[in-house]
Chains A and B, each alone.
Chain A
Amino acid sequence: MASFKSTKIPIYPKLGEKVTPDTLYWKNYKAPVQIKEFGAVTSIDFSSLAPHNYAVTASTRIHIYGPFSTEPVKTFTRFKDTAYSGKFRSDGQLLVAGCEDSMVRLFDVSGKVALRVFKGHTKGVHVTDFTSDCYHILTGSDDYTCRLWDIPNSTELTSYKEHTDYIRCGITSKLNRDIFITGSYDHTLRMFDARVEKSVMTMDHSQPVESVLLYPSEGLLVSAGGRYVKVWDLLKGGQPLVSLKNHHKTVTCLSLSSNGQRLLSASLDRHVKIYNTTNYKVVHNFDYAASILSLALAPDDESIVVGMTNGVLSIKHRKSPEEKREMAGKQRMQPVYRIFVKGRNYVPKKDDFLVSKPVKSHLAKYDKQLKKFNISKALDTALESWRRNRKPEITVAVMKELDRRGTLKNALAGRDEQNLSQLLNFLIGNVVDPRFTPVLVTATEMILDIYQAVVGQSSVVDRQLVRLQELVEREVDYQQDLLEVLGMLDTLFAASLPRKEVPCPGSSRSNGLAEGSLGAPGPQLKAA
């Protein structure tokens, strides 16, 4: 026959973010390694050559770090002023960097002294990059010009003076040796072709541009400036595609994850946001301790390196699969567990004869008591301290079940001071929780009914009653405030939408009456 049905514990909706594949992917990083630099970290660049060292430009130095070392592998210190934009060539042999003293220096990665020094700019150079054929260098400077230099001859090839403010970002095309794009504080992005005298495309970002990025296909361009990140379609002549406003301070740096599926943006508001590049929705978010100036991802997302204004370089490495397995294995290998599952996962063979044993259903402690109609004991079990504190929904569910059986009053009665104060404590903690209110208010009223006679005999209980009263008064005020807000909202909603005319029933009614009396089908029906 029907077996005992256990008390139903309602599942309440949980607040908090939803777990998506993206969350799992981006959470799978170890705790960050932090390195203190001499000044604000303005640029980070990964070498494309294994083992993927990276150059970190901070203050007057450029450090080169190995993938797993916390000490620099190499340091370039030959700068007279603040260095900017240390960049590797695509073969990883050469490194170029600008400087506040308007000179651009080219280094051999294995050497110390600059191989070439390009002089020509009149102000600090914030942008340097190699072209895709590896023989030229692009620079952008605070003197509003951007120039192309020849590496073998160390001569200036061309100079463009179209920007009307500082040039703070630029990128060369990886597919065409002549194409490059610069962004400036004059709110524009310009695309240049080295074979042409003038810029070939201009886009208006309408904010000072801090960073630009090309997609691997180079059909789309991403620019960051102010609080906005904008995506442009280059193949449609620089048409804006999307404008994203997810940061609340200036966006300083952009990066693509290695497979090009996710776009990362770092900002002065100390967040790194990760976007899905198909629908441009934020899929994940990292928080950092200080404003972020630079951001770079190692190939295959093996590590995320972030440089901040306080000179801290933060490196997060991805967890390797072995480590993950190790973590999981540690929990599993306890001997008790092995004994517990012994024989449980045995799969019977094809010809085996199966003798099934009825599965013994396990009841919770309070359910066992409820089954025997031991109501006070059931309530006691539900009020055990860990259950009361960790899972108040169970305690409330048992109270509700007792109330349904009409025996809650009996279960609540007959308690001594300690027991009663325990009960009152629970009520004070949970009675204003909207999930539990309907049940707990009934229970509280019953307690007041039962223990009315003994109020004033124990100071502990009296104090708790006063607390309960204060709590309830506060709740009443709060509910009243809420209702007021709701009323205001209702009127505003009501007012903000135009009134729609509903077809007036008046005319049709009169019509209907007339027809009804004309047709007079009533008698026919009755006659039948």
Chain B
Amino acid sequence: MVEHAEIRMVHRGGSKINFREPVITNDSRFLLCAAGESVNVYSTSTEEYVHDLQGHTDLVTGVVLNPSNHLQVYSCSADGTVRLWDFTDAILIKTFIIGYPIYSIYVSEKHGGVVFLVVPMADYKSSGKNKLFQLVAVHLPHSGDQEVEARELSAVLCDVSPHAGAASFGREVCVSGMKKGAKNAFTCVSCHPKEDCIATGHEDGKIRMWRNFNQKKEYTYSTLHWHHGAVNTLCFTPEGTNLLSGGIESVLVHWHYTQENQKDFLPRLGAAITHIAVSPDGSLFSTSHSDNKITIIQSCVKVSAVIQGLVKGDGVWTNLIIDPRSKALVLNGKPGHLQFYSLHRDKQLYNLEIVQQEYIHEEGLDQFEVVNAAFDARGNWLATVEERRKKGAELEITLKLWAYDELTQSFVLNTTVTAPHEDQITAMFFSPSPETTMLVTTSLDGHFKAWLLADHSDANEGFWACDFVGGYHLLKPGCCSFSADGSLLSVGFQEVVTVWSPASWELLTTLSQPPGAIRDLCFGRLSCSKYLLGASTKNQLCCWNLLTCSLEWSTPMDVSLLQADPLSENMAAFCSQSGSSDLFVFKPSEPRPLYSQKALCTGKVQHAVFAPRDQMLESCEERTQWLNRSQLYFFTQHMDLLTFSTKTEEDRLLASSKQLMVDDSVAVTPFYLLLGKHRGQQLEKQEALTNPMAERTQLPQGSIAIKELLHTPAHVLPSASFLCAMFVRSLLISSSSTIYSVLCCSTFGSEYSLDSSWVLRYMLGTPVFGEFLQILSSSVRLDGERCCTAIFRSLQRCLIRFKSGLWLRHSRTFRDLSRSQSCVFLAVCLGLLSCCKVTLRPSLRSWALWSRFSSRISVLCSVHLSFDPD
């Protein structure tokens, strides 16, 4: 079991940075925010991630500055500890053990050495759902030890909400509490820093200002109303001259304290505002948004930086996909967007806007959502499906196909197909064969369709058109899969697996293993390509041999997810058993798992993907061999991104990250990294350094270039385009002159005409240049839009029906009839053609729509017009 322990689960980013309100340091240089089990430190000027404060063992639930020392910060966590940190050096100073899970933390300058915490009531274990919380004051004992127990709790208030906005400190008193009103329930509260005034936000969008609160029962209040949804958060500026509020409208409203009618707006912040924080000197605001984003705003007018984490929207409808070009993880991002997320750097690369419609920030509105996405094998094409279901109305589906544009390094819309199917699309895949670009979609309307790129000799770009419509006994297809070489397509029609040849669209064979509908289909790869695996709903995992068309083996497993490694024969199956998930990694040829892990996490694993590694690992141990070529990433129920990794690899990663560690507290920019590296090297040179990594990146000509750049006056410098070439050259290793020449061709703007994946891979090879990657990725702009619409011509439609094989189940008499009466046939055809000129799509659905409508209008007319004197 020693080998077994070597593989461990690792948390790979994607944690929530908008969970609690962030803290801006006194000098406004850093922003600290709770992110999962650590506290992240970002630079406010460059939006770079600086480092994190690691130590908590559960969710961090609050971060506050130490009022007595502005270089220290308190953090509290659900693991029952409060920790004091030096955030500039990421050093843990003290740990106070409270003993209860903590939900938020407050401090006050007036009460030195005391922190206020929200903890559950003592009998929280028994109360089940309706937990009660209380606000307690804790005197932090002075002691020299690292770990201190602080068990002296004194209750201040009971029955408070665990929500962080529910409490705030005024001049003298602490205000907290949640009244349960009918429509105007409190959502947040904020105290004026100087005066006797409290602002409360309400569910109905109103803000109430309460004054003279300290004089008992003589308070007055005034109401401010702009928000149409609930007020999520409120914040006074440090001087108390302004009040900031935010809600679902994603507009930062800026109220003037003295003239209450005056307000300024900062609209279009992208997503609903959940928290607002102000720097102690009042120069910087930061707003946290519901799409896991923190925006830093300078003096209320200009957005200066955006810190974006892995967006977790309402759900991941598109499974996890790996972009073949950038090797980025692709999934649903902001509403109507796909996000490209770098797994190596835990950073969002860019957002691709799919829906291209104005997003209305309003609750309860049906919006278009991206529900499916697929890349072709080389990353040249991206297919997306968006749908919007109105209550009781027709489903709107759009299939969009995007071509990769080398010039702009982004995807450009090529074809839009409105209503590609009559019902929801369940699966969508590109054919992996290099000869044809083919897309297959399966839908609940009982058909699967193949889409081909129609080449047009006249136009330089082709568009996509439907090539084939297939079905099987009107059963609903749920999943499909291409074999590794694209020569076979298998479609699961409930309990039956059909195997088709995409070249001729012949139904080759059917396989079935009742009972239970097929949920997941997967072909084997490489040496196991003759096997087809299917997971059914009735706890069966079956493996068919396609050479003999017979079942090879089957096993009772409740497989929730089946995933094939594109680079090896391995397959991963996630099973859910009694509330937790198990993982099995196996080869289709032998039903013995290579690796298995029980009780991976609680809940079902819904999404997983194999991400190819840049460099192969040379592990030869049997247990860890399956991790050599690619890494398995998966999402738990709580949307945490986890992966598997070995100990040796972890150590290596740790070493390389230490190499990059910047000891200075200067903000980290790519340029800084470059300069700092050189300075460090010059120092280390005297000490006869032998680190191979540093030697590799040593650039004699680069340092000359930078010296030249920095020591000559600006007016005698050559033009920026000339310098740019030099700067780029300094980033490169001297031996690779070819890369240099390619890079020099491109200028620094947005025109990177070189093959990005090639350069990216090259740069990722050397960790320093990973920073340069960010410049590249930020230069990717997603504008430019070209919309062509694929045409369903009536004749084509006829032909499709003709090809579809739907006639197969009709009887022989009709054949005889048509043979004997060919003129009838002709007449019907002509009739159809003349009809089709007028109406594009005759279908049962439209007929039903019309008849429903007709009955409605006739009832109305008969009722109302019969009494009409005319």
Pair A494/B846 contact, Cβ less than 8 Å: no
Asked whether any CB of chain A lies closer than 8 Å to the CB of B159, the reply is no
Which of A219-227, A260-268, A414-422, A464-472 touches B? A464-472
* Cβ–Cβ contact A479 & B807, under 8 A: no
Question: Which among B544, B806, B808 has the highest number of chain A CB atoms within 10 Å?
Answer: B808
Within 8 Å by CB of A466, from B542, B814, B831, B861, lies: B861
Check A495–B817 contact: CB distance below 8 A.
Answer: yes
Q: Check: A483 CB closer than 8 A to any chain B CB.
A: yes
Q: Does A216 contact B (CB under 8 A)?
A: no
- Cβ B511 vs Cβ A508 within 8 A: yes
Could you say which of A434, A489, A513 contacts B829, with CB atoms under 8 Å apart? A489
Contact in complex: B828, A489 (CB < 8 Å): yes
Task: Indicate if the CB atoms of B551 and A512 lie closer than 8 Å.
Answer: yes
Q: Which residues, 775 to 795 on B, are CB-close (under 8 Å) to A?
A: 787-789, 791
- Does B865 contact A513, Cβ atoms closer than 8 Å? no
Bound: A478/B839 CA distance, A: 10
Residues of A117-174 at the interface with B, using a CB-CB cut-off of 8 Å, are: none
Q: Is B360 an interface residue (CB 8 A)?
A: yes
Contacts of A405 in B (CB 8 A): 360, 362, 365
Q: State whether B844 touches A482 (Cβ < 8 A).
A: no
* CB pair B849 A486 closer than 8 Å: no
Whether A516 is near chain B, meaning CB under 8 Å from some CB there, is yes
- Per-residue A-contact encoding for B836-863, CB less than 8 Å = 1, 0 else: 0001111010110111011011101100
B818's partner among A406, A482, A496 (CB-CB below 8 A) is A496
Task: Determine if A509 and B592 form an interchain contact, defined as CB atoms under 8 angstroms apart.
Answer: no
B554 surroundings in chain A (CB, below 8 A): 512, 516, 521-522
- How far, in angstroms, from A442 to B390 measured CA to CA in the complex? 12
Alpha-carbon distance A509/B550, docked complex (angstroms): 7
Is residue A111 within 8 Å, beta carbon to beta carbon, of the partner chain? no
| A456 interface contact, C-beta 8 A | yes
Contact with B along A478-517 (1 / 0, CB 8 A): 1111110110111111111111101101001101110110
Bound-complex Cα distance A515 to B596 (A) = 25
Whether A11 contacts B789 in the complex (CB less than 8 A), given A493-B801, A495-B807, comes out as yes
> In the complex, are the beta carbons of A456 and B356 less than 8 A apart?
no
Q: Are A462 and B870 in contact (CB under 8 A)?
A: yes
B-contact 0/1 string along A416-443, CB 8 Å cutoff:
0000000000000000001101100110
Q: Does B407 contact A (CB under 8 A)?
A: no
Among candidates B270, B553, B593, B865, residue contacting A1 with C-beta atoms closer than 8 Å: B270
Contacts of B854 in A (CB 8 A): 469, 472-473, 475-476
* A110 at interface by CB-CB < 8 Å: no
With A10-B789, A11-B789, A475-B850 known to touch, is A521 a contact of B592 (CB < 8 Å)?
A: yes
Interface string of B502-532 (1 = CB under 8 A from A): 0000011111110000000000000000000
B586 in the interface, Cβ–Cβ < 8 Å? Answer: yes
Q: Let me know if B807 and A519 touch, CB within 8 A.
A: no
Q: Are B856 and A448 in contact (CB under 8 A)?
A: yes
Identify which of A5, A498, A519 contacts B553 (C-beta below 8 A): A519
A50 at the interface (CB under 8 A from B): no
Q: Is the CB of B832 within 8 A of A486?
A: yes
Across the interface, which residues of B come within 8 angstroms of A481, CB to CB?
835
Q: Which residues of B contact A478 (CB under 8 A)?
A: 839
Residues A495 and B814 in contact in the complex (CB < 8 Å), given A13-B791, A483-B847, A485-B835: yes
The interface residues of chain A lying within 8 Å CB-to-CB of B542 are 512, 516
* Given A448-B857, A482-B839, A513:B357 Cβ within 8 A: no
The B interface, classified by DSSP as helix, strand, loop or mixed, is mixed
Flag if B865 contacts A466 (CB, 8 Å).
Answer: yes
Q: Which residue of B has the minimal Cβ distance to A479?
A: B847
Are A515 and B555 in contact, CB atoms less than 8 angstroms apart?
A: no
On whether the beta carbons of A472 and B512 are closer than 8 Å, the reply is no
- Residue B864 lies at the interface, judged by CB distance under 8 Å to chain A: yes
Measured between beta carbons, the chain A residues less than 8 angstroms from B815 are 495-498
The CA-CA distance from A456 to B842 in the complex, in Å, is 35
Query: Are B591 and A519 touching (Cβ within 8 A)?
Result: yes
Q: Smallest Cβ distance from A515 to chain B, in angstroms?
A: 6
- A505 & B509 in contact (Cβ 8 Å cutoff): yes
B512 vs chain A, min Cβ distance (A): 6
The interface residues of chain A, by DSSP majority, are classed as helix
The verdict on A511 contacting B808 (CB below 8 Å), with A437-B846, A448-B856 known, is no
Chain B residue nearest to A435 (CB atoms) is: B840
B393 interfacial contact with A, CB 8 Å: yes
Chain B's interface size range is: 35 or more
Say whether B861 contacts A503, CB under 8 Å. Answer: no
Closest approach, in angstroms, between the C-beta of B258 and any C-beta of chain A? Answer: 29
Interface residues on chain A, number (Cβ under 8 Å): 78
For residue B366, which residues in chain A have a CB less than 8 angstroms away from its CB?
404, 406
**A25 at interface, CB cutoff 8 A:** no
* B825 touches A (CB below 8 Å): yes
Q: How far is the CA of A494 from the CA of B542 in the complex (A)?
A: 35
List the B side residues contacting A503 at CB < 8 Å: 508-510, 549
Given the complex of chains A and B, what is the CA–CA distance between A472 and B846 in angstroms?
A: 12
- Interchain CB contact under 8 A, A485 and B356: no
What chain B residues lie within 8 Å of A476 (beta carbons)?
847, 850-851, 854
With both chains docked as a complex, state the minimum distance between the C-beta of A115 and any C-beta of chain B, in angstroms: 55
Residues of B close to A327: CB separation below 8 A: none
CB-nearest residue of chain B to A504: B510
Contact A492 to B825, CB < 8 A, known contacts A434-B839, A525-B584: yes
| B489 CB to nearest A CB, Å | 15
Q: Inside 8 A of B567's CB, which chain A residues have their CB?
A: none
B303 partner residues in chain A, CB cutoff 8 A: 1
Decide if B789 touches A480 in the complex (CB within 8 Å).
no
Enumerate chain A residues within 8 angstroms of B45, measured Cβ to Cβ.
Answer: none
Which A residues lie within 8 Å of B556 (CB)? Answer: 522, 526
A401 contact set on B, CB distance < 8 A: 357-358
B868 at the A/B interface (Cβ < 8 Å)? yes
Instruction: Establish whether residues B870 and A486, one from each chain, have CB atoms under 8 Å apart when the complex forms.
Output: no
Contact A512 B810 (CB under 8 A): no
Let me know if B771 is at the binding interface, CB within 8 A: no
B758 adjacent to chain A (CB < 8 Å): no
In the bound complex, do residue A448 and residue B789 qualify as a contact, i.e. CB atoms below 8 Å apart?
A: no
CB of B816 within 8 A of chain A?
A: yes
Interface residues of B (CB under 8 A from A): 268-270, 303, 356-358, 360, 362, 365-367, 388, 393-394, 418, 458, 496, 507-513, 542, 544, 548-557, 584, 586, 591-593, 596, 787-789, 791, 798, 801-802, 806-810, 812-819, 825, 828-829, 831-832, 835, 839-842, 844, 846-847, 849-851, 853-854, 856-858, 860-861, 864-865, 867-868, 870
7 residue pairs, one from A and one from B, having the closest CB atoms: A494-B807, A512-B551, A495-B814, A521-B591, A494-B810, A482-B842, A495-B815
A/B interface sample: 11 pairs, CB < 8 A: A12-B789, A20-B458, A466-B865, A485-B842, A503-B510, A508-B550, A509-B511, A512-B544, A515-B553, A521-B591, A522-B556
